[in-house]
Amino acid sequence: MSSVAPEIPLLFSELPDPFARHFDPAAPWALLGDPLDEVLAGLPSSDIRGQLAPEVHLVGDQIVICPGTRIHPGVVIEGPVFIGQDVEIRPGAYIRGGVWIGDKCIVGASTEIKRAILLRHAKAPHLNYVGDSILGMDVNLGAGTILSNFRHDGGRIRIPQNGHRIDSGRRKLGAILGDGVLTGCNSVLHPGVVVGRGTQIYPGVQLRSGIYPERSIVKLKQELEIVAQT
């Protein structure tokens, strides 16, 4: 993989084809455009390896589910979608709008995944929203983590960096999380967040659009006032 532009930290140690062939280190969010469309367009009409419970709802075409994957009752999956081997999708999850999920990922109860790429071992296990985002290998989202993907004014996502703004060219863009990023419970990442690999984000953090370095800790400083009852 080519060296990364100074503005963008290291993100992924490896990417599956054709993502690796199209990866631009200076614009990692571009994988959510034509490369993802290319992968999904190449899927067969239906290729489901294994038995699904009647309570699993499949909608639309081009749904691929690989061997060893366990899908719990109450899950809704809308094509096109690719789900790799040994994935676990827990009750009430909603997968929609073009998604690629790598091997051994976890999609948790009442989690929604929309237009996203999850690399191997990525986990969105508890009440998460993952919209127009990429989760690197071994990413773990704490319970209630939200990857917001849309500005209130509907404008294109521009990412602040070094006194200027990088135009992503996208009106919908959530977070790009490098390998091993961990988020704490109830953290919210605003549209256009890029986090280098190995960084930890503490619970309750509201992370604004921007580029954050690898192997860092993002803390929330909070002051508590405790008043005695009369």
The DSSP symbol for 61 reads S
List the catalytic residues. Answer: 126
Residues 198/181, Cβ–Cβ less than 8 Å: yes
Interatomic CA distance for residues 40 and 64, integer angstroms: 10
Which stretches within 23-105 are classed as H helix?
34-41
Beta bridge partners of 182: 140, 200
CA atoms in the 13 A half-sphere facing the CB of 148? 15
The total of other beta-carbon atoms located within 10 Å of residue 34's CB is 12
- Amino acid identity for residue 154 in this structure: G
Interatomic CA distance for residues 147 and 53, integer angstroms: 30
Tell me the pairing of strands 76-78 and 94-101. Answer: parallel
- Amino acid identity for residue 135 in this structure: L
Q: Which of 104, 204, 88, 92 is nearest to 145 (CA)?
A: 204
